[in-house]
C-alpha cells in the first residue's frame, strides 16, 4: 500500500510537472498566445500617404482587439525599398510587419541589385484595401481634362513636370506609364512621400502629381488642387463627378492602387493566419469602412495566397514597363 501510494503520488507530481511546462500554454509557433508584446508595423513612406492612412486605421483596431499596441513606424526612402530591405532581415516572429501599397511591386521592378527578393523574402498576409490613382494639377495650370494635359505636354515637350513620393513609388511608375501611353515628355521630380509632393503642388512648385485618390482627395475637397481624372474602368463613388482617365482621353490606362500586409519569410503560419483573420475582421467594422470610404478606398481582404499571386502578377507588369522605357535605377 505504501509503495502503491508513493507510486501514485509520484505519478501525480509528474503529471503536474507536465502541466506546468506544457499544458495551458500555446505550442511554439501556434499563434494562440500572439501577440504578447507590442508589434511594429513599418510603412516605407512619409506620414500622410495612402498606405500610411489605411495602416494606421487598421493598426488602431488591432491594438483594441488584440490587447497589444500595433505601432506604425514610417521609414521613407528609395521608393520604399529602404523599409523593405530592413524588414526582410527582421526576425520572423510576427512582431515586425510591413504595410505595403502597390508601389511595392513597382519599386522592386525598378531598382537593380536589391538586397531583398520581393517574393522569396516575405510572407503575404492579406490585402486590406484598393483605390484608384488620381491625376492632380495645380488650379493655375490651364488644363481641365486629361486631353488638355496631353495636348499641353505635346505642345511643350519637357516643359511640364510631374511629382510623386519618390523613385519607384506608385506615383512615379503610374506617371511613367501615362507618359509612355500618351507619348508625351514631362520632367519627373521625386519626393520622400506623396503628401510632400502634394504640398509643393498646392504651393504651385510642381505642375502635376500622380498619387492615390486616398492622398489627393482631402486637398481636392478643399479646392487646393484640381483632380483631372481617376484610374480604373468606372468612376469612383466618392467623387462621381470626376471622370476616369479612360473616358477622358487615354484608352487602356487603368492601373489601380492596392494595399496589403507582409511579414518576413518564415513567420509561423499560425501567426500569419491569425493576422489574416484579425485584419479581415478590422476592415469589416463599420467605422473602419466609413474611414476607408471617406478617404476614397474600398476595404478588400484576401487569403495569403491571393496576395502572393497579385504580387507576382504586378511584378511582371511593371518589369515589362521598366524594360520598355529603360527606367532601371542602380
pLDDT in tens, 284-318: 999 999 999 888 889 999 999 999 999 999 999 99
The residue written with cell numbers 498566445 in the block is 33
Q: What percent of the chain has pLDDT over 70?
A: 90
Q: Give the residue among 212, 207, 174 at the shortest CA–CA distance from 193.
A: 212
**Quick one: CA torsion of 264, 268, 269, 273, rounded to 10 degrees?**
-80
Measured distance between the N- and C-terminal CA atoms of the chain, rounded to whole angstroms: 82
Out of 18-32, 162-176, 282-296, least confident range: 18-32
- 31 pLDDT band, cuts 50/70/90, is low
User: Mean pLDDT across the chain, nearest whole number?
Assistant: 88
Contacts made by residues 11-18, CB under 8 angstroms, sequence distance 24+: none
Give me the CATH topology for the region 132-230.
Answer: D-Maltodextrin-Binding Protein; domain 2 (3.40.190)
Comparing 302 with 31, the larger pLDDT belongs to: 302
Average pLDDT for 16-24: 32
The residue written with cell numbers 495602416 in the block is 55
Cis peptide before 35 (omega within 30 of 0): yes
- Reported in sequence order, the residue ranges of the chain that DSSP labels E, i.e. its strands, are 39-43, 70-74, 96-101, 122-137, 161-164, 187-190, 208-212, 226-230, 256-264, 298-299
**Domain spans in the chain, listed from the N-terminal domain onward:** 39-131+256-325, 132-230
CA atoms of 190 and 188, how far apart (whole Å): 6
Per residue in 94-136, pLDDT tens? Answer: 999 999 999 899 989 998 889 999 999 999 999 999 999 999 9
Residue 1: predicted pLDDT:
39
Average pLDDT for 238-247: 95
Comparing 30 with 144, the larger pLDDT belongs to: 144
Q: How many other C-beta atoms lie within 10 A of the C-beta of residue 240?
A: 9
Contact call for residues 85 and 115 (beta carbons, < 8 A): yes
Residue 212: predicted pLDDT:
85
CA atoms of 259 and 126, how far apart (whole Å): 9
Q: Give the residue among 208, 169, 166 at the shortest CA–CA distance from 190.
A: 166
- 320 pLDDT band, cuts 50/70/90, is very high
Average pLDDT for 155-171: 91
Query: Given this structure, which CATH class describes domain 39-131+256-325?
Result: alpha beta
Amino acid at each position: 500500500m505504501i509503495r502503491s501510494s508513493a507510486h501514485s503520488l509520484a505519478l501525480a507530481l509528474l503529471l503536474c510537472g507536465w502541466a506546468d511546462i506544457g499544458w495551458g500554454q500555446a505550442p511554439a509557433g501556434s499563434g494562440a498566445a500572439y501577440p504578447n508584446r507590442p508589434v511594429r508595423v513599418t510603412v516605407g513612406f512619409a506620414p500622410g500617404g495612402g498606405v500610411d492612412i489605411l495602416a494606421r486605421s487598421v493598426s488602431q483596431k488591432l491594438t483594441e482587439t488584440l490587447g497589444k499596441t500595433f505601432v506604425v513606424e514610417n521609414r521613407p526612402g528609395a521608393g520604399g525599398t529602404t523599409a523593405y530591405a530592413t524588414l526582410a532581415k527582421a526576425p520572423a516572429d510576427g512582431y515586425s510587419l510591413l504595410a505595403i501599397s502597390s508601389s511595392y511591386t513597382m519599386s522592386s521592378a525598378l531598382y537593380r541589385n536589391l538586397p531583398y527578393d520581393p517574393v522569396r523574402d516575405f510572407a503575404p498576409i492579406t490585402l486590406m484595401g484598393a483605390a484608384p490613382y488620381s491625376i492632380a494639377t495645380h488650379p493655375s495650370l490651364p488644363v481641365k481634362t486629361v486631353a488638355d494635359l496631353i495636348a499641353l505636354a505635346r505642345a511643350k515637350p519637357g516643359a511640364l513636370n510631374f511629382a510623386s513620393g519618390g523613385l519607384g513609388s506608385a506615383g512615379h511608375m503610374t506617371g511613367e506609364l501615362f507618359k509612355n501611353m500618351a507619348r508625351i515628355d514631362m520632367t519627373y521630380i521625386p519626393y520622400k512621400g506623396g503628401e510632400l509632393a502634394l504640398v509643393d503642388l498646392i504651393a504651385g512648385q510642381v505642375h502635376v502629381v500622380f498619387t492615390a485618390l486616398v492622398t489627393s482627395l482631402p486637398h481636392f475637397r478643399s479646392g487646393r488642387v484640381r483632380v483631372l481624372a481617376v484610374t480604373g474602368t468606372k468612376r469612383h463613388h466618392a467623387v462621381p463627378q470626376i471622370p476616369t482617365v479612360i473616358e477622358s482621353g487615354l484608352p487602356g490606362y487603368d492601373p489601380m492602387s492596392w494595399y496589403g500586409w507582409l511579414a518576413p519569410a518564415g513567420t509561423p503560419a499560425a501567426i500569419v493566419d491569425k493576422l489574416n483573420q484579425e485584419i479581415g475582421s478590422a476592415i469589416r467594422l463599420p467605422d473602419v469602412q466609413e474611414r476607408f470610404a471617406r478617404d476614397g478606398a474600398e476595404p478588400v481582404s484576401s487569403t495569403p495566397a491571393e496576395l502572393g499571386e497579385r504580387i507576382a502578377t504586378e511584378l511582371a507588369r511593371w518589369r515589362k514597363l521598366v524594360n520598355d522605357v529603360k527606367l532601371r535605377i542602380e
